[in-house]
Structure 1
Amino acid sequence: MNERQWRVGILLFDDVEVLDFAGPFEVFSVTEIENGQQPFVVKTVSEKGNIVIASNGVKVQPDYSFENIPRFDILIIPGGLGAREREIHNDNVIQWITNQMKTVQLMTSVCTGALLLAKAGLLKGRMATTHWASLERLNNEFPQVEVQREVKFVDEGNIITSAGISAGINMSFHIVKRLLGSEVARNTAKLMEYDIVI
């Protein structure tokens, strides 16, 4: 059993969709391997480290700002109104995502977080997906992306995109399976009482 730890970073911003980040946060946080060790350390980050007001008014205090983050192995870019209406026009966020791609093992997105990856130029010539309501936008604004429909997630090696909201949970289980095997993923799903075929 591989007993290394992966550092998982989750980007937060105002009007981020709660389940986009909370779903993956839960999957990686509760995953355990045979000896009870937790193979994932999950932390949140926002541009300035200030409290983020997520969708429906949920307030979240990020662990880090862009200035003081550790090196992440896995980075999760969630979606929501804030992603598709504001952060896609935030050059600091887009450049940060571009820079993170140089050091992370896995760059991932949930829902319309894929728009931010596309804006950062990371999806050119790759297959990708997003929330069904934003598939046409992804296709029209970023024609070099091979948009995939009616899938929960698309694994392109070092980049994984997932569809809307709860699909980020499916993607997270896929990552657990990919890194630690089917049994660990199944045990995590059972603990969460999440119905998924692994």
Structure 2
Amino acid sequence: MGERWDVGIFLFNEVEVLDFAGPFEVFSIASIPDHVDKPFRVHTISQYGDMIKARNGLMIQPEYRFENAPDFDILIIPGGYGAEEIEINNQEVIDWIKLQKDKVKIMASVCTGAFLLAKAGLLNGKRATTHWMDADRLEREFTQLKIIKDIKFIDEGSIITSGGISAGINMSFHIIKRLLGEDVARMAAKRMEYDINI
């Protein structure tokens, strides 16, 4: 068996459901032919480990809290109202994201999760994208990044940002392609009956 990657998905109140559930499904379903073990182990984490109330009332129990979370290879920062209006003002969360950047191989945002990366200073000097409805605000509030509109995702190496909601699924397939090749990504997409252009 080749290398395995631990994927962490950060959860918080008022997180957009598909922002985290889409990547969770993509990485969870990925497999390599003739290998029993899956290449990705997917975990959820929140600040305190308490039950999370996502957008529209979906309740989720995170697996870890900040204090007991393992080190991740890939960290997904979803968006939603909770990102751009609540957690962006939570300095403990911003500091945790800064700390994780030095530990993970890939830090990726979905939708307005880009605001949390920007607030942590991780997008300075980089190209980035977010939900089309929030792109102007991101550009206005964080002038040290270059916003790219009307695109599914932007790969800047160790930092990847994606557009709104379902774009996180496209980004997740892109990460799988980068790590394991196009065939593995296409096989996962076929299992999900998801049309991808990679």
The TM tier, using the shorter chain, reads over 0.9
The equivalent of 1:117 in structure 2 is 117
Find the counterpart in structure 1 of residue 27 from structure 2: 28
Residue-by-residue CA offset, 1:51-85 (whole Å, 9 max, x unaligned): 00001100000000000000000000000000011
Deviation per CA, 1:121-149, whole angstroms, max 9, x where unpaired?
A: 00000000000011011100000110001
For structure 2, list consecutive stretches of 5 or more residues without a partner in the other structure: none
Which sections of structure 1, spanning at least 5 residues, go unmatched? none
* TM-score, L = length of structure 2: 0.98
SS of the residue corresponding to residue 187 of structure 2 reads: helix
Measured in 2, the distance between the counterparts of 1:15 and 1:131 equals 16
**Match of 2:91, as an amino acid?**
D
Task: Look up the match of 2:106.
Answer: 106
Matched residue SS, 1:132? coil
Corresponding residue for 1:5? 4
Give the corresponding residue for 1:66: 66
Amino acid at match of 1:184: V
Name which of structure 1's ranges 177-186 and 34-43 shifts more when overlaid on structure 2: 34-43
Once superposed, what is the RMSD of the aligned Cα atoms?
0.7
* Segments of 4+ moved more than 4 angstroms: none
> Percent identity of the aligned residues?
61
Name 1:38's counterpart in structure 2. 38
Aligned to 2:168: 168
Q: C-alpha displacement at 1:4, in angstroms?
A: 1.0
* CA distance, structure 2, for counterparts of residue 197 and residue 165 of structure 1: 17
| Equivalence for 2:89 | 89
Which amino acid is the alignment partner of residue 28 of structure 2? S
State how far apart, in whole Å, the 1-side matches of 2:2 and 2:30 are. Answer: 12
Once residues 83 and 132 of structure 1 are traced to their aligned partners in structure 2, the CA distance between those partners, rounded to angstroms, is: 15
Instruction: Give the drift of 1:197.
Output: 1.9
